Amino acid sequence: MESGLFFNITTIAYFASMVLFFAYIAARTSTLAFFATLAALAGFITNTIALGLRWYESYQILGVDGRAPLTNLYESVVFFAWTIVLIYLLMDLKYKQRAVGAFVMPFALFSMVGAQMWLNAGIDPLVPALQSNWLTYHVITCFLGYAAFAVACGVSIMYLIKIGKEEQHKGDAPMGGILGLFPPCRVLDDMNYRAIMIGFPLLTLGIITGAAWANYAWGTYWSWDPKETWSLIVWFLYAAFIHARFTRGWIGRRAAWLSILGFAATIFCYLGVNLVLSGLHSYGGS
């Protein structure tokens, strides 16, 4: 399949981007950051092409039963990589804090490598329950939300590294070394919050479209199966984050920890539920 080739190129581009971001932080040459961002953009474009091609190929293989490439674990993971880089590039447009790439691109790279090493890339026909437009809306909104949380998590890790060093570092002189390139803590904290503000409504939409789909297929919009429950747990955690921030002034370190906890719960909701817990949800072992 052609799309496989493009997914390989995507993986290589994300890898190059990550290495260049690391090199940028180590060598502090802004040219490196430029090329790192360029590699991320190139990877994003090939990722887009690969998804498009896979869509087209599904029609070639399955005829009229072709469908958007968002229906099994492999497709969802490569789509997750795509959404992470999309959200990252959008945040980069606004904040222009290049060092952040070193903490976000690894998530995208892990996804691509994981999908290609361990997951079945075959294009199989769908069981009847999955043949629904709601599935497409559900996957798109959920994963855009997850991606925003991934960016928030990366930024929070940077924040915790930087604030720890900053508190030891006395005086007004700008910090040298690797941390000098990190955005100021204030900016990192703001980015964390902004990313979650983007992610939360998307997760809300993701849960709602999932409920709508379940209602259409089985007549129950909510049945407390482990996947649904975990998505609600994630939602509760980020709702707590937002309230703690708005009204109790939880910023900085506590907000960063809550954001990391939220993302850990997100990943558990996405992968852990299928690997660790039993459930009815479709992205099972297949």
Kindly state the tokens that stand for 20. Answer: 């260049």
Is 252 a binding residue for other proteins by CB under 8 A? The answer is no
**CB count in 10 Å sphere of residue 124:** 12
**Residues 196 and 246: beta-carbon distance below 8 Å:** no
206-235 footprint of other proteins as x/- string (CB under 8 A): --x--xx--xxxxxxxx-x-x--xx-xx--
| Region 154-213 residues binding ligand HEM, contact defined as CB under 6 A | none
Q: State in Å, rounded, how far the first CA of the chain is from the last one.
A: 20
Residue 141 Cβ vs ligand HEM, minimum distance, rounded to whole Å: 16
Is 68 a binding residue for other proteins by CB under 8 A? The answer is no
Q: Indicate which of ligand HEM, other proteins, none lies near residue 132 (CB less than 5 to 8 Å, by partner kind).
A: other proteins
DSSP string over 43-65: HHHHHHHHHHHHHHHHHHHHGGG
CA separation, residue 63 to residues 66, 168, 277 (Å): 6, 63, 35
Q: Amino acid letter at 26?
A: A
Residue 243 Cβ vs ligand HEM, minimum distance, rounded to whole Å: 5
Is 275 a binding residue for other proteins by CB under 8 A? The answer is no
113-152 footprint of other proteins as x/- string (CB under 8 A): -----------xx-xxx-xx--------------------
Measured CA to CA, the distance from residue 193 to residue 203 in angstroms comes to 15
> For 221, which DSSP code?
S
Is 236 a binding residue for other proteins by CB under 8 A? The answer is yes
Q: Amino acid letter at 277?
A: L
Measured CA to CA, the distance from residue 17 to residue 174 in angstroms comes to 27
Residue 228 Cβ vs ligand HEM, minimum distance, rounded to whole Å: 16
204-243 footprint of ligand HEM as x/- string (CB under 6 A): -----------------------------------x--xx
Measured CA to CA, the distance from residue 206 to residue 185 in angstroms comes to 31
CA separation, residue 62 to residues 122, 132, 143, 149, 218 (Å): 12, 16, 25, 35, 26
Is 285 a binding residue for other proteins by CB under 8 A? The answer is no
Which residue's Cβ has the minimum distance to ligand HEM? 239
Is 201 a binding residue for other proteins by CB under 8 A? The answer is yes
Using DSSP, state whether 200 is helix, strand or coil: helix
Q: Which is nearer to other proteins, 38 or 240 (CB)?
A: 240
Residue ranges that bind ligand HEM, judged by CB under 6 A: 239, 242-243, 246-247
Residues that bind other proteins (CB under 8 A): 62, 65, 124-125, 127-129, 131-132, 197, 200-201, 204-205, 208, 211-212, 215-222, 224, 226, 229-230, 232-233, 236-237, 239-240, 243-244, 247-248, 265, 273, 277-278
